[in-house]
Amino acid sequence: MSDLTLHLDTHLCDLCGGCLAVCPVECLFLGVESLRIDQEQCIRCELCLPACPVGALSLAESVEDAPL
């Protein structure tokens, strides 16, 4: 079983901060021009996914886990 990773579509994200308000472990940070994700701190609870009004966040298998 591979690990899931939180992904951000920077073209969709409008930096509204909705995901920040619901994250129980505060693994999301607003940068100057984009949202930053601390993957090691993220617990994959998925609370941020419906909190994003533009659907910029998703969970997917991490690239490192993909078969060659």
Domain edges within the chain: 4-51
- pTM, two decimals, is 0.81
- Residue 65, both tokens: 């886990």
Which run of H or of E encompasses 6? Answer: strand 4-8
Say yes or no to pLDDT of 66 above 60: no
Q: Residue 24 has which token pair? A: 């129980």
| 4-51 is classed CATH 3.30.70.20 | yes
What pLDDT is attached to residue 3? 82
Coil, strand, or helix at residue 31?
coil
- Residue 62 in this model has a pLDDT that exceeds 80: no
Are 58 and 12 in contact by the 8 Å Cβ rule? The answer is no
Q: What integer pLDDT is reported at residue 39 of this predicted model?
A: 93
